[in-house]
Amino acid sequence: MMKKALALSALLLSSSVLAQVTVDAPYARAVPPGQPNSAAFMTLVNDSDAVSVVGGSSSASDVVELHTHTHENGVMRMRRINSIDIPANGEAVLKPGGLHIMLIGLKQQLKPEQTIDLTLEFSDGNRQTLTLPVKSVMGGMKMKHGKGQGHQHHHEN
């Protein structure tokens, strides 16, 4: 009886040390030719103690950074952050205009129907490697240019 209780408490202790994060609906943003950066979005669901994403890597880009958007004087600005917290038994939603993972220095154009790898690094020392489909965030919307009119599109991410 005592051995079972000790084994159960050891199991509970070990499971509380390592967070159990599952990833829901991950994807990377498709980008036009020449665009040096992209972003990845997903929902991180935590079934254990609080944990944070503290970094990452991908073979698709030189650098992976964690970012958020803030409103400063009526202007939305993107800024780098050190971590993305996932509360105990909660979730963190990474979406356009909010928390996201930047892929900086793309090694190739990201086109819809491709996949890329992304490894997330967590504050508890765990790593999780994902395969992300590349999707068009605009939903396939086409830009029309009038005759003789030049349009410039500026993207912060």
Task: Give pLDDT tens digits for 11-68.
Answer: 444 333 456 899 999 999 999 999 999 999 999 999 989 999 999 999 999 999 999 9
The answer to whether residue 76 is domain-embedded is yes
**Number of structural domains, the chain?**
1
Q: In terms of residue numbers, what domain contains 129?
A: 20-135
CATH number at residue 40: 2.60.40.1890
- Kindly tell me the sign of the dihedral angle through the C-alpha atoms of 137, 119, 71, 77: negative
81 has pLDDT over 60: yes
The answer to whether residue 25 is domain-embedded is yes
78 has pLDDT over 80: yes
Predicted local distance difference test score (pLDDT) of residue 60: 97
Residues 6 or more apart in contact with residue 42 via CB below 8 angstroms: 23, 24, 25, 26, 27, 94, 130, 132
